[in-house]
Amino acid sequence: MKRKINFNLSVAIVFPAFLSAVYANEKPASELSVEELLNVEVTTVSKKAQSLNDAAAAIFVISQDDIRRIGARSIPEALRLAPGVDVARINSHQWAVSIRGFNNRMSNKLLVLIDGRNLYTRAFSGTYWEQTDVVMADIERIEVIRGPGATLWGANAVNGVINIITKQADKTQGGLLTAGGGTEQIGFGSLRYGGKINQSTAARAYIKGDVRDENSLKNGQDAGDSWQKMQTGFRLDSDYTNQDSVTVQGDAFYNWMRDNMALPIIQNTQPQILALQDQANSFGGNVLFRQKHIFSPTSSYQFQAYYDFYQIKNIQRLENRHTIDLDFQHRFSVLDWHDIVWGAHYRFRHDQFNFYSGFAQIYPDQRNDQLVSGFVQDEITLIENELWLTLGSKFEHNDYSGFEVQPSARILWAFHSKHRLWAAISRAVRTPSRAEHDLSLTAGSTNVDGLPPLVVRIEGNRDFGSEHVLSYEIGYRTTAIKHFSFDLTAFYNDYSRLRSARPLALDPSNAPNYIVQPLVFVNEHSVHSYGLELATVWQPFSWWRWDAHYSWLKMDYSSQEAKEEIGQSPQHRFFVRSALSLREDVDLDIMYRYVDRSIAIGVWRPVTIKDYMSLDIRAAWRIQKDFELSVTGQNLLQSHHQEYVNPAFIQPVEIDRGVYGKFSWQF
């Protein structure tokens, strides 16, 4: 036994020595001739381990390679790779995604864009993630910006911006067929084909579909939340002159979703809870046009226009929304040390609602709103290649909250080629939603023995205004240690005028059957939050990379009511991933995450979500260069666990363990 251990030790010592011996005994690289250099074996280590970005902001980029390698079947799954992003799955088709707190199914302080198209909806202020989809293999990268981005992107970029950028059509030439299935992802497939129309014009088209199984209730029974989806789309890019390019793209989707609901109703003059199975569907589409002209390497303009439409129909409501959006941006440089970008933006929206049951009404049932904005930002080079100051502001007028100013000041100091230090102060606003202004909703009832039931009714309020944040951030990035990168951000956010529900006088007109307690939305809560976000990459070998990130968040609420109405995002979150390619044609990825306890906002009361751990493993084998087989296991540690609850009337769902297989063929 003892000899065995010695042998092991010797192997462990010899192994690294053997590796280094391979590299020794060579001519110094600087003395190689051109001919010799062309014959050297080149390693293309993923740049991420060492790359530093020059932004005075907390930016993280998720690459296509990472998205593929973790087996992400949806955009929220891919977002788990980014530090500071709180991704919680509510059920098969709903997600709660946020940055720096305030998580919710409709996280209202996070802006999401796909190729410049804004997915933030005015209806309930937030993003419908089930309508946010692309062919995963066509994503070029996802930029995740933590902290306010309102100076450039406008209102609602309060705590962050997620920019999903798809590949240009000339990068997706030929065919790509993927298909697979498993226990939770019952079946899925996508077909994309791209071709060249002429020398400077390329295009692609795709179709994809997904069938997802239902998850489980706490007791292990089926949760009735299955989901099916179809989506199709196209993109065309043309560089029609040396200085002009144009992009036209569009998508259309159809969703079928089922949910177990528990609706508060008033029946026979008595408040009751009605349990039923909802069959919802949604469909929509968009078309976008973008033209770009370049005057010189430091001067260009861009014009973008899009139309977007969706309809959601479920047992409670019908929602239709049309958006027309026009955007112009121009950048140029002055005097060698000013880089100026300015822009103008106009958006028109029309919506229409129908509520089917008596527990909710909206008035008026149709509403148009307009938004006009302009911005200017100047990046001033204070010391060449070393110190930059960026000043700017957005000026915006919208029909819901009027005039808003959202300035920011940022400074970046590159005091060494391997170190970056930055700091920023910025202001951003979250503008009111249609529901906050115009919806009246029976949120539930409480029964106290001997008294008539108390029905809580939330009333929209046209005087409800914007929520504000003043944010202070500081960050440090370094690549000073070989094979290792380190990125740390600290922030302090001062939120004011946050949404609160103020009780009005009791309405006894239905007594003795029940008494109504009206609540009206006002801006009376405030919160101070602070936190740290740490992201590291360690790449000891070109074939083995470790990514880890940790985030810590603390919130101080102005009152106990504020805490109960806002909820509490996880204080600690930790993620680690190992990406191993022992052979060039074999990938093995392991992801582990820990999410601390959180408090989600349910319909009737806050719901405590227990802390959880999760493990995903993916193995892939490229049988040929163009043909890959993979197996992905998700949420492997438990048979099911809860990550969040829907704040509306859908019953809490726990997310099941799942395994799926997939092939991907390029032709």
Q: Interface residues with other proteins (CB under 8 A)?
A: 1, 4-5, 7-8, 11-12, 15, 18-19, 22-23, 26-27, 29-30, 32-35, 37-45, 47, 50-54, 199-200, 239, 241-243, 245, 292, 294-298, 300, 333, 336, 339, 381, 384-385, 417-418, 479, 541, 543, 582-584, 586
DSSP H helical ranges for 427-471 = 434-438
Nearer to other proteins, 199 or 269 (CB): 199
DSSP H helical ranges for 84-158 = 150-153
**Which residues contact residue 343 at a Cβ distance below 8 angstroms, ignoring those fewer than 6 apart?**
327, 328, 329, 330, 374, 375
Nearer to other proteins, 275 or 334 (CB): 334
DSSP state of 650: B
Is 51 strand, coil or helix? coil
Is 465 strand, coil or helix? coil
Nearer to other proteins, 35 or 449 (CB): 35
- Which residue type, as a one-letter code, is found at position 478? T
Distance CA 282, CA 310 (A): 7
The residue ranges of DSSP E strands in 44-159, in sequence order, are 58-63, 85-89, 95-99, 110-114, 117-118, 120-121, 126-127, 139-146
Q: How many CA atoms lie within 13 A of 356 on its CB side?
A: 9
**Which residues contact residue 18 at a Cβ distance below 8 angstroms, ignoring those fewer than 6 apart?**
none
DSSP state of 59: E
Nearest-approach distance from CB 4 to other proteins, in angstroms: 4
Length of the chain as a residue count: 667
Q: Which residues pair with 495 in a beta bridge?
A: 469, 527
378 contacts 339 by C-beta, under 8 angstroms: yes
Quick one: tokens of 233?
């789309």
Nearer to other proteins, 64 or 228 (CB): 64
Nearer to other proteins, 15 or 403 (CB): 15
Distance from the first to the final alpha carbon of the chain:
54
Nearer to other proteins, 313 or 418 (CB): 418
What angle is formed at CA 546 by the lines to CA 540 and CA 551, rounded to 5 degrees? 135
Nearer to other proteins, 53 or 558 (CB): 53
Nearer to other proteins, 242 or 269 (CB): 242
Distance CA 342, CA 386 (A): 24
